[in-house]
Amino acid sequence: MSDIFIFNKPFQVMSQFTDSDGRATLADYISIPAIYPAGRLDYDSEGLMILTGDGELQHQISHPRHKLKKTYWAQVEGEISDSALAQLRTGVTLKDGPTLPANAERIAEPDPLWPRDPPVRFRAAIPTSWISLQISEGRNRQVRRMTAAVGFPTLRLIRAAIGDWALDGLAPGEHRKITLSDEFKRYASPNKPASRRINYKPHNKSPRPTGRKRSR
């Protein structure tokens, strides 16, 4: 049996437990000993992270060789065009080479969705739109670079799912424990589509940090 912890990482939180620059980290929200992130999520991105103390499981989840698909919701600047979606589905060329084809589709703003703190800065004259993008690679800032390459810069980025594990019901800063059997791979099947909805449960108070206090 193996345990994982799924965590909804808030905006501007480091995906590690320490930071020499005093930024918020996982330790502000999680006080469970001897667990580590299975993969990373950018400081300015939000959403699903998986943590575990099982090294083999950590490798299975995080290593690109296993092609575990990750689903992102991206709010982009402008009304996303059919041609831009077609480019994402075919694969786009970045500075470090062409990407694999992605599953890309236009979606309505996920509902319900928590407000970001601080909020996204908009330009009044330019509309925004949302897309769902599913990839199996793990390049640095890949989703942001992909949408920029097709002419639609990302304003807000949320990781909604990793394989079959999804945010379902987790507010920002909350985590939940899941115990897996030795056949855990069926839970992380890269071939099943992830749910588009968050099923976010609103609550009136912010999660209380359980680690060190955040530096201001």
Active site residues: 42
Report the DSSP pairing between strands 93-94 and 165-166.
unpaired
Task: Name the amino acid, one letter, at 75.
Answer: Q
Task: Name the amino acid, one letter, at 135.
Answer: I
Spatial distance between the Cα atoms of 90 and 204, rounded to a whole number of angstroms: 43
Are 72 and 158 within 8 A, CB to CB?
yes
SS3 132: strand
Q: Which helix (DSSP H) or strand (DSSP E) does residue 169 occupy?
A: none
Maximum pairwise Cα distance, the chain? 54
Note the Cα 38 to chain centre separation in Å: 12
SS3 186: helix
Cis, bond preceding 119 (omega within 30 deg of 0): no
Q: Which helix (DSSP H) or strand (DSSP E) does residue 11 occupy?
A: none
Neighbouring-strand partners of residue 71? 134, 161
